[in-house]
Amino acid sequence: MTARPSLFERAAEIYDFDSGLRVDPVQADLPPPQPRLEPVEPAPTTIARKPEPAPGPRRLVSRRTAEVDLVALEKGGYLLPDASSSALAEETRIIKRRLLKAIDDRAERDPRARVALIASGQPGEGKTFLALNLALSIAGEHERAVLLIDGDTSQPEIANRIGIDSEAGLVDALADRDVDPESLVIDTDIDGLSILPAGRRERNVPELLASARTEEVLERLLAADPQRIILIDSPPALAASTASVLAGHAGHTLVVVRADSTSEADLKETVGLLGGPARLSLVLNSASLSIGGRRFGQYEESR
């Protein structure tokens, strides 16, 4: 037998006693109930730090400088700055004008147009002689600058011919991705002329030149100066495979042909190796016959 509910329990089933406890604060003229405050944990102790300094301007690359041995240049038969006009100077100007025009016609569409490879089929045909004289001639242009790269890594000669010490250079920039190639450029005391030596000896130079790093190095050297023309002294195409690799990175290729020395077979093979995507031009060297009766250098001297 179950116990009978109490009077309060039976009343609770009929009436809502809780309703009497819910009072409208406005009608009761009482302040509204305050929100319950949750306990707040104390903030962790922190050590005040000095604000980070604002980033400053980008640090300029500190490049090396060197003085060109003008006596060595003169003994080698090279063009000298501010020298009087000569047949060699005028012939070099013709080559320069055609090269600069070809560069200007394409440079806006293809920055690689500012890179020219100076090559030959065999050693001793005059490629380094042309490369250095062409660089000296371009350096004399207003609003132009020229960077001469010694790409003949097996037998580098550029630094020695102008009388400067050859230290780190192209190969070092290719082998170490952390090296800024611009930091290896040597500024000379000839205004507008800078040099990038061949650099250290490595056995895998052909593979380094064929890598994407070479393209990156050239892009950074071009971006460093929008007025810069890059000339690369190439190894002989028929003696080193790196010549054809370098031609793939250049927008122009000048092949030096030595009169009465370069054979037709060598020339055809050289053109086949270096043709590629670059524009290719032939430069005749050591010609004893003056085509068209030209006598450059005598006009100014006769005045």
Give the domain CATH number at 199.
Answer: 3.40.50.300
Please check whether residue 6 lies inside any domain of the structure: no
For position 22, what pLDDT does the model report? Answer: 44
Q: Which tokens hold the place of 115?
A: 């890179």
For position 275, what pLDDT does the model report? Answer: 81
CA distance 144 to 147: 10
Do β-strands 193-196 and 186-188 pair in parallel, antiparallel, or remain unpaired?
antiparallel
For position 83, what pLDDT does the model report? Answer: 74
Which residues have CB under 8 Å from 69's CB, separation 6+?
Answer: 162, 163, 164
Q: How many CB atoms lie within 10 A of CB 279?
A: 18
Which residues have CB under 8 Å from 2's CB, separation 6+?
Answer: none
CA distance 228 to 216: 16
CA distance 202 to 252: 27
Please check whether residue 239 lies inside any domain of the structure: yes
Name the phi and psi angles at 118, rounded to 5.
-105, 115
Which residues have CB under 8 Å from 172's CB, separation 6+?
Answer: 179, 184, 199, 200
Quick check: helix, strand or coil at residue 72? helix
Q: Are 213 and 131 in contact (CB under 8 A)?
A: no
Instruction: Report, as ranges of residue numbers, the positions in the chain whose pLDDT lies below 50.
Output: 7-8, 11-12, 15-31, 45-60, 296-303
Query: Which of 232, 296, 266, 277 lies closest to 91, judged by CA?
Result: 296
Please check whether residue 47 lies inside any domain of the structure: no
Count the domains in the chain: 1
H/E run at residue 230: strand 228-233
Residue 80's domain comprises 64-287+296-301
Please check whether residue 25 lies inside any domain of the structure: no
Quick check: helix, strand or coil at residue 212? helix
For position 43, what pLDDT does the model report? Answer: 52
Q: What is the pLDDT of residues 251-289, one digit of tens each?
A: 999 999 998 889 999 999 999 999 876 689 999 988 765
Please check whether residue 10 lies inside any domain of the structure: no
Please check whether residue 36 lies inside any domain of the structure: no
Q: Which tokens hold the place of 134?
A: 């062409």
CA distance 127 to 130: 5
98-116 CB burial, b ≥16 within 10 A, e <16? ebbebbeebbeeeebbbbb
Please check whether residue 37 lies inside any domain of the structure: no
Please check whether residue 267 lies inside any domain of the structure: yes
Q: Are 159 and 131 in contact (CB under 8 A)?
A: no
